[in-house]
A and B are shown apart, each in its own frame.
Chain A
């Protein structure tokens, strides 16, 4: 039986340097998938972030399973779901290895 591809997260943050990326532990990825199932559908797309600084985060588990979370909305493909307390976004960011994301860069997130 083939093993599932590990999920990769990325925070959209930098301009000059490549954005931080990390592998999300399997348990955290499972939790995020479950959380996604619990969120309510919305017709609202994520708001447009400002050009510079934090612009959201992504979770990519392959085979088209790619989520984008920003400012209370989580999107996968054309499906958007409300996440008013930004649980998905915060949990995903929390799964980053310590020190990978400069805390000052997430001010207001």
Chain B
């Protein structure tokens, strides 16, 4: 038998492929055979993600009947027509990506094997957290003017992620200045009125000088125009901002780390006043961001 295996990983470039014949191909399909049906709510075939999305396996000669002609293996599961099951060997992708596996022959990047191993790990983490972070559809937008939750856009592992902080994210204003320029991503710096203490009384007015509007009476309700943000303080240590999204839930971007929709207890955030905020114990106020009205250094 012969298999053509495509590593579904790139977006712009063509995906790399390898072919397996004979015993190697037979071993591979044995290890890929379906074991148990996936539970309800488990991660569906991840072909919509950026990054590693699985191995597309085509049986191009002498196929076995236990598997379709073309199927996908991703995060230890097999997907195909009427197929969403765990596989006989959940370590199959690790073997494929490892130094002894077929991916070692792929030369599209220096050390593709290691790159793929890392990507595999990320998909497994995504799979493990899938149910917890799953959007439940259909849902009605609760805040029509609020920005979308687009973690993949911000979490690029590069310029956008590293050089924008919680203030950039909450105000939905990308400057790519955080950690790069003095005052980058700091409330008040753009208007020459940067905060001088890490208190609600200092950071709030600094943000207002950048164009944010105090809205203490918002009580977690969306404004008719613009979107709602919330300021919290770790007294004397740091400030932090959240933003309310279109689905009514809050999200945030802690410093240079990825955007997230969970709090320090791993829960979604219906109200930042009651979220687990770690050291950011002081809830200061809600504020409104009018789109296009603010400036950030």
Which residues of B are found within 8 Å of A4, using beta-carbon distances? none
Which residues of A are found within 8 Å of B279, using beta-carbon distances? 52-53, 104-105, 107
Could you say which of B238, B241, B263 contacts A51, with CB atoms under 8 Å apart? B263
Which residues of A are found within 8 Å of B257, using beta-carbon distances? 12, 51, 55
Which residues of A are found within 8 Å of B260, using beta-carbon distances? 51
User: A78 near B: Cβ within 8 Å?
Assistant: yes
Q: Do the beta carbons of A15 and B114 come within 8 Å of each other?
A: no
Binds A, one of B30-38, B178-186, B214-222, B282-290: B178-186
Q: Do the beta carbons of A16 and B239 come within 8 Å of each other?
A: yes
Q: Which of the four size classes fits the interface of chain B?
A: 35 or more
Subset of 14 A-B contacts with CB under 8 Å: A12-B255, A13-B238, A15-B165, A15-B238, A15-B239, A15-B241, A16-B185, A17-B239, A18-B178, A50-B266, A50-B276, A53-B264, A78-B117, A105-B237
Cα A14 to Cα B125 in complex, Å, equals: 24
Q: Do the beta carbons of A18 and B237 come within 8 Å of each other?
A: no
User: B280 near A: Cβ within 8 Å?
Assistant: yes
Cα A50 to Cα B263 in complex, Å, equals: 8
- Return B261 CB to nearest CB of chain A, in Å: 10
- Return B171 CB to nearest CB of chain A, in Å: 12
Could you say which of B166, B179, B240, B262 contacts A18, with CB atoms under 8 Å apart? B179
| Nearest 8 interchain pairs by C-beta | A53-B278, A50-B264, A52-B278, A16-B239, A15-B240, A15-B254, A14-B238, A15-B166
Q: Do the beta carbons of B114 and A78 come within 8 Å of each other?
A: yes
- Could you list 18 further interchain pairs (A-B, Cβ under 8 angstroms) beyond the known A16-B187, A51-B278, A53-B280? A13-B255, A15-B166, A15-B253, A15-B254, A15-B280, A16-B185, A16-B186, A17-B238, A50-B264, A50-B265, A50-B266, A50-B276, A51-B264, A52-B280, A53-B278, A55-B257, A104-B236, A104-B279
Q: Do the beta carbons of B255 and A14 come within 8 Å of each other?
A: yes
User: B167 near A: Cβ within 8 Å?
Assistant: yes
Interface of B is mostly: loop
Q: Do the beta carbons of A52 and B264 come within 8 Å of each other?
A: yes
Could you say which of A16, A19, A50 contacts B240, with CB atoms under 8 Å apart? A16
Q: Do the beta carbons of B236 and A102 come within 8 Å of each other?
A: yes
- Report the number of A-B residue pairs with Cβ-Cβ less than 8 Å: 83
Considering only residues 222-278 of chain B, those with a C-beta below 8 Å from chain A are: 234, 236-241, 252-257, 260, 262-266, 276-278
Cα A16 to Cα B252 in complex, Å, equals: 11
Residues of B within 8 A of A (CB): 114, 117-118, 121, 125, 165-167, 178-179, 184-187, 203, 234, 236-241, 252-257, 260, 262-266, 276-280
- Return A20 CB to nearest CB of chain B, in Å: 11
- Return A54 CB to nearest CB of chain B, in Å: 8
Find the A residue at minimum CB distance from B128.
A48
Find the A residue at minimum CB distance from B258.
A51
- Return B15 CB to nearest CB of chain A, in Å: 23
Which residues of B are found within 8 Å of A87, using beta-carbon distances? none
Cα A105 to Cα B255 in complex, Å, equals: 15
Which residues of A are found within 8 Å of B236, using beta-carbon distances? 102, 104
- Known A16-B186, A78-B114: A52·B178 in contact at CB below 8 Å: no
